[in-house]
Amino acid sequence: MDYISNTQEDKAAILKAIGVSSFEEIISKIPKKLRDFNLRLAPGVSELELDREMDEIGHANKNFKYFIPYLGAGNYDHFVPAVIDRLTARGEFITSYTPYQGEASQGTLQSIYEYQSLICELTAMDYSNASMYDGASSLAEAVLLALRSDGRTKILIPRTVHPEYSAVVKTYLSFVRSEIVDIPMKDGAMDLEALEKRLDDTVAAVVIQQPNFFGILEDAQRVSELAHKAGALLIACVNPISLGILEPPGEYGADIAVGEGQPLGNPVSFGGPHFGFFTVKEALLRKIPGRISGMTVDKVGARAFVLTLQAREQHIRREKATSNICTNQALCALKGAVYLTLLGKEGIKKVGLLNLEKAHTTFERLTKIKGVSGFSTKPFFNEFAVRVDKDSRRLKESLKKHKILGPLALERFFPDMTSTFLVAVTEKRTASDLDHLAKAIEEA
């Protein structure tokens, strides 16, 4: 009770007010064995000793600086130019908060506006919001938008969508009047015949991931045609780096395009924080979650920035809110904007081509190893699955010996995919990295 008052009189008054005679009576319901314990804290150490101990603990992490990563599945080891952290770590950005007052937040509002413009150009969509928490919640919010749009209740999600994204969508819809229909896959891509059979006038949206969870390119144009023929919306969840060389979602008819923004200038960071991008065609503008920054002129005709749209429950009636997302990932999104500005159209194209070429070189090298075979015959971007007919224990030991993180064992998500691994390859992987990976598999 010392944290409440320092006098016995005050303590007694408080105890009397809540109807107990002592502090022990308050905690009497807690089992005695949980109350009687010793923290067993180690004795204090000097600053030098603490620094050394923390350094040793840090080296226990298998991070991408000392290990070669072939892990991906939505989180990728791309090159992040030093200028990105140098600019975004400036005090004006790193200490700024939600721009409630436009007159005091012009810099923040402008950075959001520039981010929105770049994302719209990258995706060929009409409007972008100020960002979401991550790719998975962006997809879930897109599904909610589709359900709100016309009263239909079914959402078609193929098995080729990231399993964790699908799980987040299902969690979001747990208490929403809706039905999720799983679409099977065929040769690593969405089964279009199965999709066509399940499309009817109750389907609110079809979800497509491009490239999909296995890195394979879906027939986005055909999926778009089938969805719109049934009166459903098309939700595209896309890898932003792939848009340097692939057709953007706005051009194959996506009504909503979302994705994980981590590949755009954000480090992997053990899984976050990152940002999700969210874009729509004009017809869905008023239903978009989050907020939008806009450009206008002030009373003397000078350029000014404002929060044009704020469709969350803090600003409007709860029942009319499009989302309960309470903020945007402004700093991470800013890194994405700086990255896109720095690379430009040619730069993002070059990065996309490097990812494509290095992934295919890796695939060709690995499938020449005895016991390694391809998972699919479909085209892929910077990620692919292979079957590895090796002793799993020896393979794990061999990868560890060569200081390699990954590839991802797909059995974790798909119990029927034993001995199948997802290999992610970015522009950072070198010929030496590939040699290590190939030798690790061969030696297993």
Question: Which of 322, 340, 358 is the endpoint of a domain?
Answer: 340
**In 3D, which of 249, 247, 236, 245 has the Cα closest to residue 356?**
245
Question: Residue 316: what pLDDT?
Answer: 64
Which range in 21-35, 38-52, 211-225, 313-327 is most confidently predicted, on average pLDDT? 211-225
Question: Which of 340, 374, 406 is the endpoint of a domain?
Answer: 340
**Lowest model confidence (mean pLDDT) among 71-80, 89-98, 304-313:** 304-313
Residue 423 tokens read as 């290999």
Question: Residue 41: what pLDDT?
Answer: 83
Q: Looking at residues 73-99, what average pLDDT do you find?
A: 91
Based on the structure, what is the number of domains in the chain?
Answer: 3
Give residue for tokens 């919306």. Answer: 233
Q: How many angstroms separate the Cα of 128 from the Cα of each of 4, 136, 309?
A: 49, 17, 11
Position 212 in a domain: yes
- Do 293 and 350 lie in a common domain? no
* pLDDT over 70 at 1, yes or no: no
- Do 267 and 313 lie in a common domain? yes
- Do 269 and 329 lie in a common domain? yes
- Dist CA 385 CA 389 (whole Å): 13
Position 32 in a domain: yes
Question: Residue 2: what pLDDT?
Answer: 45
- Dist CA 227 CA 156 (whole Å): 10
State how beta strands 68-69 and 404-405 pair. Answer: parallel
Position 61 in a domain: no
CATH number at residue 307: 3.40.640.10
**In 3D, which of 205, 355, 275 has the Cα closest to residue 347?**
355
**In 3D, which of 118, 144, 92 has the Cα closest to residue 293?**
118
Average pLDDT along the chain: 92
State how beta strands 276-280 and 291-297 pair. Answer: unpaired
Q: What is the longest distance spanned by two Cα atoms in the chain?
A: 82
Residue 113 tokens read as 């506006």
Question: Residue 96: what pLDDT?
Answer: 80
- Do 120 and 211 lie in a common domain? yes
Q: Would the CA dihedral through 69, 73, 77, 79 be positive or negative?
A: positive
* pLDDT over 60 at 5, yes or no: no
Position 292 in a domain: yes
Give the containing element (helix H, strand E) for 260.
strand 256-260
Bridge partner residues of 293 (DSSP): 307
* pLDDT over 60 at 4, yes or no: no
Question: Residue 369: what pLDDT?
Answer: 96
Position 290 in a domain: yes
Question: Residue 315: what pLDDT?
Answer: 62
Write out the residue range of the structural domain in which residue 233 sits.
Answer: 82-340
Q: What is the pLDDT of residues 281-322, one digit of tens each?
A: 999 998 999 889 999 999 999 999 998 887 665 566 666 777
For the chain, the C-alpha Rg in angstroms (whole number) is: 26
Q: Looking at residues 180-203, what average pLDDT do you find?
A: 97
- Do 336 and 398 lie in a common domain? no
- Distance separating the N- and C-terminal Cα atoms of the chain: 62
Position 251 in a domain: yes
- Do 387 and 313 lie in a common domain? no
- Do 381 and 293 lie in a common domain? no
- Dist CA 11 CA 327 (whole Å): 41
- Do 116 and 131 lie in a common domain? yes
- Dist CA 433 CA 330 (whole Å): 34
Q: What is the pLDDT of residues 388-426, one digit of tens each?
A: 998 889 999 999 999 999 899 999 999 999 999 999 999
Question: Residue 12: what pLDDT?
Answer: 86
pLDDT exceeding 90 applies to what percent of the chain? 75
- Do 267 and 394 lie in a common domain? no
Residue 31 tokens read as 């089992």
Question: Residue 313: what pLDDT?
Answer: 57
